[in-house]
Structure 1
Amino acid sequence: MTNPTTQIALKNNTSSSVVYAYVTGLDINKNNAYGFLQPDGKTLYYPDSPSQVQQPLAVDCAIPLGAPGTTTTVTIPQLAGGRIWFAVDNKLTFLLNPGPGIVEPSVTNTDDLNYKLNWGFCEFTCYVDFVAIPIALELLNTAGNKQVVQGLPTDGLDQICAQLTQQGASENGIWDKLIVKGPDGKNLRAMSPNSGRIGNSGLFDGYYQPYVDEAWSKYTNTDLKVDTQAQWGIAHSPSHPPSTSSAAARGPSGTYPIQTRDEMGAIGARLAAAFNRSTLISNPDQPDAIQNGANNYYKTNPTNHYARIVHGVNLDGRGYAFPYDDVVPSGATGPDQAGTVFDGSPELLTVTVGGPNGGSVGNGREDKGAAGDGDKEKKKTAFDFPALFKKIMAMLKGIFRK
């Protein structure tokens, strides 16, 4: 953002009068120092490095939001990697390790002090890790234009859990294992498949195997085109399986030569999105040539039913449900599924916790990093596409991974 500061309006739309917010991020004007916004709503606390691990913060940075329906406005400097955390009925515990290293609340570590508490955070309405408290965003820029992401309805978590239970009943009790109950027996959160596997490593083993096998069988004889939607143009799959040497265990980004790393990341993102949405087999022109776009996502089994259900329950269908959920067909003009808001000149970001205020859906934004017309020129790739394709499918053999 270009403005030195931005106002954030934090609205309590829950039924509780005990709701706390925490605003964290890297202050780009202080060498990316990790900062916590203090309860005065304008001063950042920068933790010092402790001499021992698991030390408490020196400052209580819980921002009380007041009674239901009230709004608390805070002001932040230019932050990178910013998050807004919310906790209902309790405060959250952040700890410090030498560095300083920030120990944030975890939904996968059952020993974490926050594990049984009702909390969530917003990071562009991200559901990659889990779903919990409904959070909605509205961004107003200095020209008076608004972007709105409505988020979940008040009972959104219960709706998601009910549908996961239903899906689990039809698929041998898999999907309902993503539901976490609180001490009172009520739904506390719904985990993503990635997060669910951290506590249960065997969850989803073999789930995607039939789809992986069918995709590989098809594209050993059929040309698969992946539009990078960037300067690299369109990559083509081989017409035969890769050799053992070319299919060495290379990841989609980090272990490839730096000269082709970004290009391969663009291809890998689009293949991962196609697998999660189960559009890879039906569409040899990724991510384009999908009639009606999102209306044809998640139509076959196996698929990422967590993502399908989360999008279906969100009031406007938008929310980042898996890594690379921001991939869209070239030239798409409607709101992206990822549920991001972005502006170079923001004036006020309103974050509502607990459910919607009502009103109409705002205008969506096409993510320039994920869509855009790009360079459509067909060109020969400068790297080993067969190896990348096979590696991604190997990663998806029974699991959902980034």
Structure 2
Amino acid sequence: MRIPPRIARILATTLLAAPLALANASPAQAIGPAILPVTVTNNSGRADAVHLYVLGTNLATGRLGHVNAAGTFTPWSGGQIPPSPAPDVSIGGPGNGGSSTIRFPRGFSGRVYFSLGQKLQFFLTPDGLVQPAPWAGGDPNRSILFDWSEFTYNDAGLWINSSQVDMFAVPHAVSVTGASGATKRTGDLVANGRDAIIGAIRAQAGWANTVITRSDGTVLRVLSPGKAADAGLLSPTYLDSYIASAWNAYTAKTLTVVPFTDQPNTRFFGRTSGTVMTFTNTSGAQVASFNRPSSADVWGCAGNLHAPNDLVVGPIARTLCAALNRGTLGTVDTQPSLNAAEFYRNNPTNHYARIIHANMTDGKAYAFPFDDVGAFESLVHDGDPRSAGIILTPFTGGSANPARTIVGPGGKCVDVSGDDTGGNGAAVQLWDCQSWAVDQRWTRNGDGTLRTLGRCLDVVSGGTANGTKVQVWDCNGTGAQVWAPQADGSLRNPQSGRCLDSPGGATANGTRLQIWDCNGTGAQRFPLS
């Protein structure tokens, strides 16, 4: 069974704890350096001083503590009831346009906080750390611009994600580079993405108060719907009508849950009676039941949707919560749905998740606790990491990696087969251009690669012969993944000396793309929009 990629979300009013993901991690031989360098780059465009904090859990001892810039772990000590101020363990971060290095010791899990302009205030109890909770009245960090990334570094590698589960505040991307030199990166916004998210959420009826602005006019954050509802800034019953409709749909039909992509024969079948949905397995035995959840349960994937760390109830609960947040429960009867074009079409819907995903260059985000169902989360992992990165990206203006469509013959878009879930080896093809299609958004990077879904446009097996197909593959720095735009609108692969090509100039949906001798014909015109 794969290690669940979700790094467990910790409620900011509780103690920092180890990720739930680790409960399923099987023992592994230690690989990667004992101390992993993490470069923090400041491309925010802001002049504020940056303060960094590396806080979390020593996985060997279970002790809560902090890590300094050199990667040394120190457990917390002291603490009182009521909580007493924690010592200042901030690390000076980079100025705008600069970078600095922090380090993760292997066997550590937690968060990297970054605050702009002011240091954060943390507090200690006898049991551990109380974290900032800017959605709560009286929290001393409410007027500070800050955010965080979450990570786990253990013998199975590094997981690091940009999180929007509680709020969206400081735009940032995360990356990891493995032993092969290949780098994976996620979390980049489209150009002017922060402003677009703020404006779009303000425009939704009933959501304007979830945008929090400081007295000097700085937009500090957009609260997730659960946090906003808890603070009285969004209707606590906002999603109830949709939940009732979706839940009641299964009084007359069966919901099929297939929670493990690598176990397609593991299936559970749900039917609703009254307000209770009961699930049976393939043998007909009852294995789980859920009372109809409230809006708060859906926003937090908690309460009636609590997901224990087991192999039956937890996987079903996660799937239900993702389907309710994405609005596919009730209309898509085999879950999880992996087609992003089906998401957020219900009314009312989770506009927060919808808008954040729509403004990510690769479409991936952690906008609710189980946004990793179907691998739609903004997370990167490497089993043998050599370095990692946290990049504070522009608050306004252009993105460092703007997403573009590549329009080819017949006005069709360059597309990845598999409904936005293309893994290594997924075919690259022509398809009707669709504004919602994440796998039709490509970023051109400084190394000459074209990327979508966290992978690179790649010539199969590094081939150089006419007719060699192209695919998406983990970015690995080889010549098979370098594409040079030409004046005639073609994309040339310098390693092979050939151009991206539609066989015979075909324009039909599903036409598999290849490389061919550059010839200046319409079959090879693939300009980046």
TM-score range, shorter chain: 0.7 to 0.9
Q: Is the 8 A contact 2:362 2:452 kept in 1?
A: no
Which amino acid is 1:10 matched to? Answer: V
Match of 1:37 in 2: 67
The amino acid that maps onto 1:364 is G
Matched, 1:227 2:258: yes
Distance 1:209 1:181, change over 3 A: same
User: Corresponding residue for 2:393?
Assistant: 354
* Equivalence map 1:27-106=2 (5 Å): 27-29=58-60, 31-38=61-68, 40-51=69-80, 53-58=82-87, 60-99=88-127, 101-106=128-133
Q: Does 1:364 align with 2:397?
A: no
Whether the 8 Å CA contact 1:41–1:75 is kept in 2: the answer is yes
After superposition, the C-alpha distances for 1:121-170 in whole angstroms (9 at most, x for unaligned) are 112111110000111111101121211104335743332121011112xx
Q: Confirm or deny that 1:341 pairs with 2:380.
A: yes
- Contiguous gaps of at least 5 residues in structure 2: 1-29, 151-160, 279-288, 293-302, 402-444, 456-529
What's the CA shift for 1:79? 4.2
CA distance in 2, matches of 1:305, 1:263: 30
Q: How many residues align?
A: 341
Q: Deviations over 1:271-317 (max 9, x none)?
A: 111111111122111114x6xx1122112312111100011122222
Report the CA distance shift for 1:243/1:36 in structure 2 as closer, same or farther (over 3 A): closer
Residue type of the alignment partner of 1:224: L
Tell me, yes or no, if the aligned pair for 2:270 and 2:277 is still in contact at 8 Å: no
Q: Is the 8 A contact 2:229 2:236 kept in 1?
A: no
Query: In 2, Cα distance between the equivalents of 1:16 and 1:353?
Result: 12
Kept in 2: contact 1:219–1:237 (CA 8 A): yes
SS in structure 2 of the partner of residue 238 of structure 1? strand
**Alignment-derived partner of residue 24 in structure 1:** 55
TM-score by length of 2: 0.59
Change (3 A) 1:75 1:251: same
Provide the residue aligned with 2:327 in structure 1: 278
Within the candidate set 197, 210, 220, 1:178 is matched to: 210
Structure 1 position 193, deviation (Å): 0.4
Write the mapping of 1:204-223 to structure 2, written as runs, cut at 5 A: 204-223=235-254
For 2:525, the equivalent position in structure 1 comes to none
1:342-396: CA deviation from partner (whole Å, max 9, x where unpaired): 112111111111335433546638xxxxxxxxxxxxxxxxxxxxxxxxxxxxxxx
1:191, CA displacement in angstroms? 0.2
Helix, strand or coil at the partner of 2:382: coil
- Give the letter for the 2:454 counterpart: G
Helix, strand or coil at the partner of 2:362: coil
The structure 2 residue matched to 1:144, chosen from 164, 176, 181, is 181
Alpha-carbon distance change, 88 to 154 in structure 1, aligned in 2, over 3 angstroms: farther
1:190-245: CA deviation from partner (whole Å, max 9, x where unpaired): 000011112118x3344323323322332111121111227681111237557899
Q: 1:142 to 1:362 in 2, by over 3 A?
A: farther
Deviations 1:42-65 (A, max 9, x none): 33332212355432334x322112
Give the share of equivalent positions with the same residue, in percent.
28
* Alpha-carbon separation, structure 1, partners of 2:275 and 2:137: 42
1:270 Cα offset (Å):
1.0
- What is the Cα-based RMSD across aligned positions, in Å? 2.8
Aligned equivalent of 2:140:
113
1:327 lines up with 2:373 in the alignment? yes
Contact kept? 2:162, 2:187, Cα under 8 Å: no
Which structure: greater strand fraction?
2
Structure showing greater radius of gyration is 2
Please say if residues 230 and 236 of structure 2, whose CA atoms lie closer than 8 Å, have aligned partners that are also in contact. Answer: no
Distance 2:181 2:148 in 1: 26
Counterparts of 1:299 and 1:22 in 2: how far apart (Å)? 39
Shift of 1:184: 1.0
Q: Distance in 2 between matches of 1:344 and 1:284?
A: 35
Distance 1:41 1:263, change over 3 A: same
For 1:119 and 1:239, the matched residues in 2 are separated by 43
1 CA distance for matches of 2:86 and 2:237?
43
Cα distance in 1 for partners of 2:272, 2:122 equals 52
1:74–1:236 Cα change, 3 Å = same
Give, in whole Å, the separation in 1 of the partners of 2:257 and 2:291.
21
Q: Give the letter for the 1:238 counterpart.
A: R
Alignment partner for residue 167 of structure 2, among 109, 127, 130?
130
Residues 1:10 and 2:56 aligned together: no
Letter in 1 for 2:79: P
Amino acid at match of 1:12: N
